Amino acid sequence: MIIIYKQLGDIIKIIITGGACGFLYERRRRRIMGNNTKKTLIVVDMQNDFIDGALGTKEAVAIVENVKAKIREYADRGDEIIFTRDTHYEDYMETNEGRHLPVPHCIEETEGWEIADGLEVPGAIYINKTSFGYTGWGDFDLQDVEMVGLCTDICVVSNALIIKALYPEINVKVDARCCAGVTPESHEAALATMAMCQVDIKIGRASCRER
């Protein structure tokens, strides 16, 4: 595992790369809520390529303002915010995913890999993940989680179920108004799957069609 610190204006990025090696880090002091439960917002893959780039759609664009408002809500309270970034390399087309989805996207350090403008906030943690689900969530002290982002039926559901399996006693929520799926049908199916696994769903509709 590699931890990289980057200064970008007034934003200090903590970037975690690699597998599920031990990691537990408190980026900043938080305002503790009444029940002393740490609240975490996980923003899944809100990257340019999934919004208006290689795999972008109008449905993905449509959720950006909702996601921005959600991030601001958590930032204003001083809660923990984690961004995940789908991360591929120049050999993407030779990978298993590349053979199933032959559209290069989210190539590290390209514009398409970057988080969409206006979403980043100071003090956020960044995770570069090379597969749908990040397997290192057990190294975080997650206590109350809300998830938003792209796509509902691939990376959101993958990470929600990993977190729920690792932390069966915590509240895990997904705001459907801040998510979009590959199709409207698969978006709804993923929400239903998560609900069956006791992930709380805030109802809303959006879709992110794969080209």
Beta carbons within 8 Å of 160's beta carbon, 6+ residues apart: 147, 172, 174, 194, 197, 199
pLDDT tens-digit readout, 156-201? 999 999 999 999 999 999 999 999 998 888 999 999 999 999 999 9
Contact 85, 113 (CB under 8 A): yes
| Residues 26-45, mean pLDDT to the nearest whole number | 69
Per-residue confidence (pLDDT) for residue 188, from 0 to 100: 94
Share of the chain above pLDDT 90, in %: 75
- Mean residue pLDDT of the chain comes to 86
Report how far residue 148's alpha carbon sits from residue 57's, in angstroms, rounded to the nearest whole number: 17
Per-residue confidence (pLDDT) for residue 58, from 0 to 100: 83
pLDDT tens-digit readout, 101-142? 999 999 999 999 999 999 999 999 999 999 999 999 999 999
Residue 40, token pair as written in the block: 């975490």
Report how far residue 173's alpha carbon sits from residue 160's, in angstroms, rounded to the nearest whole number: 8
Burial 45-58 (b: 16+ CB within 10 A, else e): bbbbbbbebbbbbe
- Which residues, listed in sequence order, are joined to residue 3 by a DSSP beta bridge? 16
Strands (E) across the chain are located at 2-8, 11-17, 39-44, 80-86, 125-129, 144-150, 171-180, 200-202
CA 44 to centroid of chain Cα atoms:
1
